[in-house]
């Protein structure tokens, strides 16, 4: 994909194009070209080829992404220790770490989601201060970042739904005096839609040379590609129609995809927060099995405990404490914020659960972002001293688990005995 984009050759993929443009730009930045002799998985990449530098760019974005979780927590009124827990959960989750070390666009997409949510929070906070111009400007920036995230992968759509819902309906505690002004809300939609269209148009304008993927498109679409030969018989398609057709093709081919439960996480794995690998080990070329689970056990258990705590607190509040009024304002605020994060967490997984039935592990990353925000918000229910103690305990547990399972993160060679010891709860997770 990177080579074809840099060569300006048209290619079609079920994912939107910004991720491919990002990776192509990263490879161009370090002057890396895919060696022509790389034809199969597992081949050694020549030393000094620039491959490590491309991955380093993604790793830097992964580090920024984990810090953004803490920044968003602080902007949302969460105190420093729970905010640090959120950042550590994102930074030391094994799935997040691996995805930020390989040349895939998912870390880039999550960072764009986080930037969009941060800008939206800035807008909501400015609106609560009754500032006039500032909410509008922040919301435009949130729309640009949201449109960019969706133009990277459609699985980031939940952040658009959450931002637009809070801004339109005025969901507390993010907004306390009703929804935002109509021009401000419309500016978000306009900025998101314009950015989404612009990025598709930019991609199709750049990758305008005929290639092996031409047959996916209609004859008028091919007529707009240089060297296709179709232009001699058909009028080229208008740019906006090309964007429409490309999106229609993505939807058609995405609809037909079904996951493979033998090698990808089933729906129950996602609900239980146990994301198993998409990689399989072939045995005698006849059978296969999952290698193991790529998840930091401490992060997984912390999120599961957080979701359980939120559900219990919500039940107790609705059933017994709602009429007590001001005595439970902190609990009320946590439940309001938590409800939004849970909705976003579940919503992020719905396309995979409903359409694919199961899916590759990297599709969990948007949900993980909202799960970390929920965990940080739940810690605000504790007393100041207990909050610090629990936060330190969780951070140490996450760091220790990351260190223990680090051979799987960095693919260091270990003995079969060591590998077997790391297969915690193997029978349940596989």
Q: Per-residue confidence at 284, pLDDT binned at 50, 70, 90? A: very low
User: What are 75-115's pLDDT values in tens digits?
Assistant: 999 999 999 999 999 999 888 888 888 878 999 999 999 99
3-state helix, strand, coil in the chain (%, to 5): 65, 5, 30
Which of 36-45, 138-147, 399-408 shows the lowest per-residue confidence on average (mean pLDDT)?
36-45
Q: Indicate whether 143 pLDDT > 50.
A: yes
The residue written with tokens 């079920």 in the block is: 14
What is the pLDDT, as a whole number, of residue 281? 44
* CA 144/CA 344 separation, integer angstroms: 20
Q: Where are the alpha helices (DSSP H) in 155-296?
A: 157-169, 182-206, 219-223, 239-255, 267-271
Q: Can the peptide bond before residue 58 be classed as cis, meaning omega within 30 degrees of 0?
A: no
Q: Indicate whether 324 pLDDT > 80.
A: no
**Residue 54: DSSP 8-state:** H
Q: Indicate whether 285 pLDDT > 50.
A: no
* CA 54/CA 31 separation, integer angstroms: 9
* CA 31/CA 260 separation, integer angstroms: 37
Full-prediction pTM beyond 0.75? yes
What is the pLDDT, as a whole number, of residue 253? 83
* CA 103/CA 37 separation, integer angstroms: 19
């Amino acid at each position: 994909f990177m080579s074809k984009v840099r060569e300006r050759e048209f290619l079609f993929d079920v994912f939107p194009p910004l991720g491919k443009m990002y990776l192509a730009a990263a490879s161009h930045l370090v002057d890396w070209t895919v060696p022509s002799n790389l034809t199969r998985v597992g081949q050694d990449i020549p030393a000094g080829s620039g491959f490590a530098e491309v991955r380093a760019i993604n790793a830097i974005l992964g580090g920024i992404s984990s810090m953004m979780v803490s920044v968003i927590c602080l902007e949302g009124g969460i105190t420093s220790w729970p905010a640090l827990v959120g950042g550590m959960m994102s930074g030391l989750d094994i799935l997040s770490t691996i995805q930020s070390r390989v040349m895939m666009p998912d870390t880039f997409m999550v960072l764009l989601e986080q930037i969009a949510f941060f800008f939206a929070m800035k807008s909501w906070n400015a609106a609560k201060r009754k500032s006039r111009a500032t909410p509008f400007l922040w919301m435009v920036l949130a729309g640009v970042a949201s449109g960019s995230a969706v133009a990277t992968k459609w699985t980031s759509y939940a952040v658009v739904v959450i931002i637009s819902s809070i801004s339109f309906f005025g969901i507390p505690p993010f907004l306390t005096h009703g929804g935002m002004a109509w021009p401000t809300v419309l500016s978000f939609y306009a900025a998101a839609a314009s950015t989404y269209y612009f990025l598709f148009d930019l991609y199709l304008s750049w990758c305008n040379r005929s290639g092996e993927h031409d047959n996916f498109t209609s004859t008028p679409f091919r007529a707009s590609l240089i060297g296709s030969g179709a232009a001699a018989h058909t009028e080229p398609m208008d740019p906006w129609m090309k964007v429409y057709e490309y999106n229609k093709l993505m939807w058609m081919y995405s609809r037909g995809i079904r996951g493979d439960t033998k090698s990808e996480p089933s729906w129950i794995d996602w609900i239980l927060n146990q994301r198993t690998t998409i990689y399989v080990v072939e045995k005698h070329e006849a059978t296969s099995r999952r290698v193991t689970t790529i998840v930091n056990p401490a992060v997984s258990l912390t999120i599961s405990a957080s979701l359980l705590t939120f559900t219990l607190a919500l039940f107790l509040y609705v059933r017994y404490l709602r009429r007590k009024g001001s005595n439970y304002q902190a609990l009320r605020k946590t439940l309001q914020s938590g409800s939004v994060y849970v909705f976003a967490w579940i919503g992020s997984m719905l396309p995979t659960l409903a359409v694919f039935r199961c899916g590759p592990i990297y599709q969990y990353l948007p949900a993980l972002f909202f799960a970390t925000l929920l965990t940080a918000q739940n810690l605000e229910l504790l007393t100041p001293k207990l909050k610090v103690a629990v936060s330190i305990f969780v951070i140490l547990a996450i760091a220790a688990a990351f260190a223990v399972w680090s051979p799987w993160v960095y693919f260091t060679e270990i003995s079969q005995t060591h590998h077997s010891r790391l297969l915690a709860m193997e029978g349940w997770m596989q």
